[in-house]
Structure 1
Amino acid sequence: MDKILLMLQLQASLNEATNGDKWSDGITKNGKVINWRRCIYMECAEMIDSFTWKHWKNIDQEADWDNLQVEVVDVWHFVMSLAIENYSQTLRGQVEDLAINISESKSFKKIDTKEELFAKQDDTIEKIESIMIDTLSRGPLDLEKLISDFFDLVVMSGLNLESLYNLYVGKNILNQFRQDNGYKDGSYIKVWAGEEDNVIMKRILEQNSDIKPDELYKELTKLYLALNKS
């Protein structure tokens, strides 16, 4: 449960820092409506572009599983945000209650594994589309099904609890770094010397799996400053 709880706490903190302390009411500090469901299905649509699904273009190109894994983590940000908001608005409990319920669910066992195998491309796309359907429905949210489908996708994309946690913490820190360096006003540079910052963050984690969040932030700062000086 520890990793699930920490990820939920980090996400709640990031949402509060970015959107204000009323974010779970569905509105930002600037009065803009928050739609986590839309965030999820739009991110899922982008995720499908990790595959060569087009029958008229790049038909022999290999799937980009590294990009898919980063996109899965992006969706996890929104799934957790939607879950926290749902628990708050339906009075089901706080972040700690959500963490307990997720950890005790049958679907959690799917990711609490050591396997790291990729599923077939078409099966993975079908699962992504299932998540989109979960969030496109205008009826009451079936949060348990959404989380179960997401955990299926985690395993199908070659991730597990440990790797999901590591990538999530990395992306969380990167998101904080982006916010601190002009992401909202458009001055932030997302492509560093020809590579997207997501890729660079993932490489840092792969080169040092024991790196602490504050150390990752410092490493990103060092690389970004070097980029801006060049």
Structure 2
Amino acid sequence: MLNQSQLAIMLNLQDKMNVKVNPDWLNAGYSYLRAAMIESVEAIEHHGWKWWKAQKLDLPQVQMELVDIWHFALSHILIEHKGSIKDASAQIEQALTSAHTTVAFDGNSFDLYQQSLVENLELMAGLCVAKRFDIKLFTRIVEQAEMTSQILFEQYVGKNVLNFFRQDHGYKTGTYKKIWDGREDNEHLVDIMQALDSNLDNYADKLYEMLEQQYPS
């Protein structure tokens, strides 16, 4: 289960990234749950659902979509709490420790532990359309996608830091070098993440610092 320190790091990173896009993002009216709904549907596509053709579950891609969904979910929760990281963190903590195993939607009750991964993804998409996000449902989906909370945290922070790094080094102007030493930046990031202790309080800062050290000047 995600701990207080991890939640604080992720919420702070999400706020900073959103401010980078728009300093007034809290009042901009962006539909973060619409974005989460689209990502949920994309996860279903990567899972496979078509009964009329052979399909193969692409679990790494499903996991990537879940990391993206978490970005949008954190943004939505921060808006609900007017940008208060403390209050947003408290809500998430409460939801994570909740004992509920069912979700009510459209007059029906869905048991999160009886449903398949694709069925829970579909339920999450439906809730997002109704402007609702159920954290317990999301964590159940993460579990079904063979991710731990630690992996979710590391993948989330890694992607967020890389996005910051790209923006700070000319991504918008086209001067950023996505490939150096014959490898893409996300490959370099994976190496750094594997060598770094994710329990460090300054984990995100260290990731950025080590990317800076490896990036060609």
- From 147, 164, 188, the equivalent of 2:135 is 147
Contact 1:107/1:151, CA 8 A, preserved across alignment: no
Give the deviation of 1:197 after TM superposition.
5.3
Q: What corresponds to 2:80 in structure 1? A: 86
- From 23, 27, 37, the equivalent of 2:25 is 23
Structure 2 residue 95 is matched with structure 1 residue 105: yes
Residue correspondence of structure 1 range 145-184 to structure 2 within 5 A: 146-184=134-172
Q: Distance in 2 between matches of 1:213 and 1:11?
A: 12
Give the deviation of 1:182 after TM superposition.
4.3
**What's the CA shift string for 1:9-65, capped at 9, x where partnerless?**
221121112221x2111x2xxxxx5221211111122222322334455x253x222
Q: Distance in 2 between matches of 1:172 and 1:215?
A: 13
TM-score by length of 2: 0.73
Give the deviation of 1:204 after TM superposition.
4.0
- From 3, 6, 18, the equivalent of 2:6 is 3
Give the deviation of 1:82 after TM superposition.
0.5
Contact 1:50/1:67, CA 8 A, preserved across alignment: yes
Q: What corresponds to 2:41 in structure 1? A: 45
Q: Distance in 2 between matches of 1:193 and 1:46?
A: 32
**Structure 2 residue matching 1:105: 3-state secondary structure:** helix
Give the deviation of 1:214 after TM superposition.
3.6
TM-score by length of 1: 0.69
Q: What corresponds to 2:118 in structure 1? A: 125
The letter for the 2-side match of 1:149 is L
Give the deviation of 1:203 after TM superposition.
5.1
Q: Distance in 2 between matches of 1:221 and 1:178?
A: 11
Structure 2 residue 12 is matched with structure 1 residue 12: no
The letter for the 2-side match of 1:213 is A
Contact 2:96/2:135, CA 8 A, preserved across alignment: no
**What's the CA shift string for 1:54-89, capped at 9, x where partnerless?**
4455x253x22222222211110100000111222x
Describe the shift of the 1:219–1:109 C-alpha distance in structure 2 as closer, same or farther (beyond 3 A). Answer: farther
* Number of aligned residue pairs: 197
**Structure 2 residue matching 1:50: 3-state secondary structure:** helix
Q: CA RMSD, aligned part only? A: 3.3
Contact 2:95/2:135, CA 8 A, preserved across alignment: no
Runs of 4+ in 1 over 6 A off after TM superposition: 189-196
**What's the CA shift string for 1:73-132, capped at 9, x where partnerless?**
1110100000111222xxxx821012122213355689xxxxxxxxxxx81111111111
The letter for the 2-side match of 1:13 is K
Q: What corresponds to 1:117 in structure 2? A: none
Q: Distance in 2 between matches of 1:82 and 1:163?
A: 22
Q: Distance in 1 between matches of 2:188 and 2:98?
A: 29
Structure 2 residue 59 is matched with structure 1 residue 69: no
